[in-house]
Structure 1
């Protein structure tokens, strides 16, 4: 129930959902006291959450920084949290379409190739509320496939395919590592915007892991009219991801998950 309700909550707070709700409500309402505030709210959401500079500042404030010296230490195991690493589409065995967060497996691959990781855990199951979804087939399995193709030994990869959220990622990985007592030190790979929630969950699960933030979204943006004034659909999408994560972190904190 928590999983389904959290998904629905995030859909409601999507910028496009908020814009649609306030705009339609403002158009159809017969109350003159509500009409103007609702229409102005809709416009305000577009101007604020569609502002590339403001959204980028938000990421600069929220994201956990990547390690300054990523190859300074060896670890027994690297834990990859799945989500967006592969395109969510049907593909054959020979087809691999990487997504926006492919950096989550690229960084551990780099460390493995340098001899800084002994094992790699890929954690993530079906996160869709659609019962017919097979999203995990195009995520953990495809990630395993590409890692093997790029030189990781199959016996050095462990799969966790049941987790539907970050808390389950942490609990299930902790359970796996209890079966491998020789794997004492770990490093956690996830997107920089997700780092706060992820490291909190894993430490709550009893894993004293090190966070490796990757897939950084904050950029050095130029102060030009197109970023300062003109709303952008890309900024709205980025704003949704940021809002999604902040809400998720707050909910997890309230539930005691991180």
Structure 2
């Protein structure tokens, strides 16, 4: 139920949809001769499309998220294990076409596979269930196993957490499977823009010794715009969704700070 509520709510909050609602609403009002209000809505919608579609809004929203944790250039000490969050596989297309279909965050799995090959003794937890409103039969964790096997990681090596539908469940269910012990060091692999919320949730769930390993960077510069309206709006949609998630998780007590950072850094 929470999944459905979240998806329906974001449908109305998604910036690209809000812009469409403004323009369509304004057009309707112009037809019924509410010219001033109609014109205002159309103009606001057009300005937002320019700002979000061609302007730097998307990058500006991504930068503080992606720069919150430093990029890891080298892992010297072998980790106890690696937790990989879902988002790398499109389960709907995977089921429909019978082969693993990559999503936008495919680097989560490719980076994790590289780590797994480098540290053959490290345990691996793949966390991701069905996040579609109308779920099929393919669980993301299962598809990630297939993808990692194609990248040289034996299919029997990962432990699968295939029930989670959100980041909080990623943390709770993975913790229950891995049962990390004091003194162990685990790498958390997810997109850089998602890392603040993910780390905050894993800490709140009680996972100690978790270390951020951000991948899948999206931003280019906080002052550069886009040459494609669709690309700019897509960036803005993803970034706004993550900021809404941060606020929602903070207000519901699933993180202990609004923008979790490295140990000792809170905001």
TM-score (ref. length: structure 2): 0.84
- Inter-partner Cα distance in structure 1 for 2:25 and 2:7: 23
Structure 2: state its 5+ residue gaps: 256-267
Per the alignment, residue 173 of structure 2 pairs with 172
Per the alignment, residue 34 of structure 1 pairs with 37
- Compute the displacement of 1:181 (Å): 4.8
Structure 1: state its 5+ residue gaps: none
Q: Deviations over 1:9-41 (max 9, x none)?
A: 111122231122111211222434422221111
- Inter-partner Cα distance in structure 1 for 2:8 and 2:141: 24
- Inter-partner Cα distance in structure 1 for 2:164 and 2:61: 28
Per the alignment, residue 253 of structure 2 pairs with 256
Q: Check if 1:57 corresponds to 2:68.
A: no
Which of residues 216, 237, 243 is equivalent to 1:246?
243
Q: Check if 1:123 corresponds to 2:127.
A: yes
- Compute the displacement of 1:78 (Å): 0.4
Per the alignment, residue 215 of structure 2 pairs with 214
Q: Match of 1:156, SS? A: coil
Q: Is the 8 A contact 2:108 2:215 kept in 1?
A: yes
Per the alignment, residue 142 of structure 2 pairs with 141
Q: Check if 1:235 corresponds to 2:237.
A: no
Q: Is the 8 A contact 1:190 1:215 kept in 2?
A: yes
- Inter-partner Cα distance in structure 2 for 1:156 and 1:188: 17
Per the alignment, residue 263 of structure 2 pairs with none
Per the alignment, residue 153 of structure 2 pairs with 152
Q: Deviations over 1:36-83 (max 9, x none)?
A: 221111112201110253322321222244534332232111000001
Per the alignment, residue 76 of structure 1 pairs with 80
Report the RMSD for the aligned CA atoms in angstroms.
2.4
- Inter-partner Cα distance in structure 2 for 1:239 and 1:117: 40
Q: Deviations over 1:157-188 (max 9, x none)?
A: 1000000000000110111122x659932111
Q: Is the 8 A contact 2:92 2:136 kept in 1?
A: no
- Inter-partner Cα distance in structure 1 for 2:38 and 2:172: 48
In structure 2, relative to structure 1, the CA distance for the partners of 1:2 and 1:99 (3 Å cut) is closer
Q: Deviations over 1:205-240 (max 9, x none)?
A: 1012111111110125996xxx47x66211111110
In structure 2, relative to structure 1, the CA distance for the partners of 1:3 and 1:97 (3 Å cut) is closer
TM-score (ref. length: structure 1): 0.86
